[in-house]
Structure 1
Amino acid sequence: MPRSLTTDDFIPVDLAQAKLGQLLFYDRILSGNQNIACSTCHHPDLGTADGLSLGIGEGGVGLGPERTPGTGDDRIRKRIPRNAPGLWNLGARDLSVMFHDGRLMAQDTYENGFNSPAQEWLPDGLDNLLAAQAIFPLVAQFEMAGNPRENEVAGAVHNRIDYAWPILTDRVRHIPAYAKMFAQTFPHIQSAFDITIADIANSLSAFMIHEWTSFDSPFDAYLAGDTRALTSQQQDGMALFYGKADCASCHSGPLLSDHGFHAIGLPPFGPGRTRPFDPMVRDVGRMGKSDRLEDAYAFRTPMLRNVALTAPYGHNGAYPTLEGIVRHHLNPRSSFDAWTPKMAALVSVPWLEQADFMVRRDAREITRQRAAITLDPTPLQDTEVTAIVDFLAALTGETAMEGKLGIPANVPSGLPMDARPKR
């Protein structure tokens, strides 16, 4: 059993920075075409994710499962290759790796404190790992930047990644309300021209940490000594999780993750996050960052608090329910073979549908992915699976859906905000 989490396990936050970050998080000003915000794919009403297996990024319209892929020249050209993860507890001090494939790490590889896709071009002044993570979706073509020749941000990215961040920063500088708030919040900022992308990123990080640090679940109460916090079935599920089912071999420690990478054989579909030299549509996971064959098809172990709020599950959202992903872990090869495309939560995109499941027609690639699975079968009764699922539901924070700062009524840019998803 892990120890209890406390506030000391998380990076402290300046409330003024968090309030500034709240506005930026919901403001479309940080996207190339000014038509998508961070909140579009990480909305609190959708568990800080988007409710889709693979999201609809720049060019789409709407929110969550009701989001559409756009029309005409503005329509999307590609689905987001991987599932939008929840944002819970990303300010944990022990967290040293981000993204499904770990391509961002707290590591001084480039003498700037991080090993990231920006390498030595990562901006200076980033406070923490989450701040570094926050600036990458802004310059990702299909997430927030847009396509080449559509806007100056997308054009700059295709020249060199760090050329785009000053353009976004300049947009923020020229909004008087933001300029005033930055000057009031950061001691080193005397005028609008002192604002940098690092200041924007640090504000976004402060907001996400403040808003979505969560360890007030029934499970946390149980760890703190309240033995009545879990039902008898949830306690049975917890015993299986830490015992017979061996879930805790990977979902270990106070954050319920070993922060490692494992090939568990989630059924492939979608465009994948292909490398430039890949001869086919596929997603090799951690190997795409490490270039080590032993990392093929391995993905990061997710943290589990509030997991019941963040369906669908897996690095590509292959399973719509907690029971489905639990059963996959218990018999990954059988589940890999039995999975069907109808289980994927995908927005209809007629011009992409032929490519959505292209990888599944590549028999050799499917054989490679199946052979890479490292989990052995763990036979359980249906009642035991139900108990584990009930235990996972007990990881939901009592105040998780309430938020702290919430959603602002409007944002300083004056741009429209995402409408709340339909209930």
Structure 2
Amino acid sequence: MNYIFFTLRDFNKVGGGSIRIYGALNALAETGKQVILISNAKSHDQFHPSIRHIFIGVYFEKKALLQGLLALFPVSILIRIFPKLFRRLEDIFVKIDQNNSKLFFFEYLDNSIGYILKKSGIINHYVNDIHGVSTIEFDYLRKNTTSIVRKVIYHFKYILSERLDKKVFEYADGIIYSSEAMKRFFENKYNMQKAKNYVLPNLLSVDAGQMVVDEKQREALLHSLQLEPNDFVFLFAGGYKPASGVDDLVEIFQQLSQKYQNLKLVLIGDGPLKKKVRAMVIEKCISDSVILIDSVPYTQLVTYQSLARILVCPDRYNEFSNLIIHLKYLDSLIANRIVVNSRFDSVDEINKDDKLSVSFVASDKMDLYRKLEMCVLNYDKLNEQYKGTREYALKHLSYKSKISVLTE
């Protein structure tokens, strides 16, 4: 049995999507399975050496156009509009023994490609990996914009994405969900009865445990950021998105710093809320206690995390986070630090009864304040309580530990 994975990604950038692909494929290859990746990857350094690569060589930049057209028109029109892409894909798949293979399509655009290939007879089955929900994204945007024009645009995109999802997911032979909560969401929304179900959360890669603190860099950072041994440091690393809760964290930190001495807050990342957060820091007169750092290379994240005592994932409630475990939470669990995170259904599936981290009610700033204060007052006790989190996560929350679901 061959396990064939498809993505148009070129892997030139590291992000949540590529980390999921690396993690799943490498874990499966480590078990001795025959793994083939069809992609635009030119470098194979991050992949298990036994993985066979088939290079597509077509760099497709009209993602939104293809998906919008697919929501409205039949497959035959798409193939005529994008002949170069689909001629190349037909050349690839005609040489594959599909009856002795499982075909997996990774990302949102790839899911649509799988549908087109099956509908046109180029492949005879496909399994979609769902780790994003476009309808939730467009629904959030249309509800949170004050512009009438943008509201109309986002509403139209919502309708199109819903039509697209109904086509693509209901026609799939299998669906990989990122959580049980996501599985319930899609089963309630669409007719998914004929598809085989897999649940494979966002997890840690095989080599996650090999990322270690660079002590020389850590000492340099302590000096350059003027952090002292008795400073009690909170750290946030992630995108400054409207639902990230980073602005809530700044507000809560200001309140805590009025009550407790030697508190510091390190904020790492970029995004649309960055300007607002900078203004809040100045307005609240906490510039001496808050350190803002632009995004750092992923391989250096663990060193920056080592500067803190508490890692905070302060996301506000949103449907997307309720369905998907964010990579920043998993990264925090293996940093040998106390983690404070919003409570979501997806996270509760692995953090039952706060086994791995301290959770607070999402969007509840008062509860976030209480939990962060608890960390200040009971740091030694909590540090002892969660000292086994890293070891547990590496053993039980890695792709290697869960990848067998794809072979069932």
TM-score by length of 1: 0.25
Query: Higher relative contact order at CA 8 Å, sep ≥6: structure 1 or structure 2?
Result: 1
Q: Computing the radius of gyration over CA atoms, which structure comes out larger, 1 or 2?
A: 2
Structure number with higher strand proportion: 2
TM-score by length of 2: 0.25
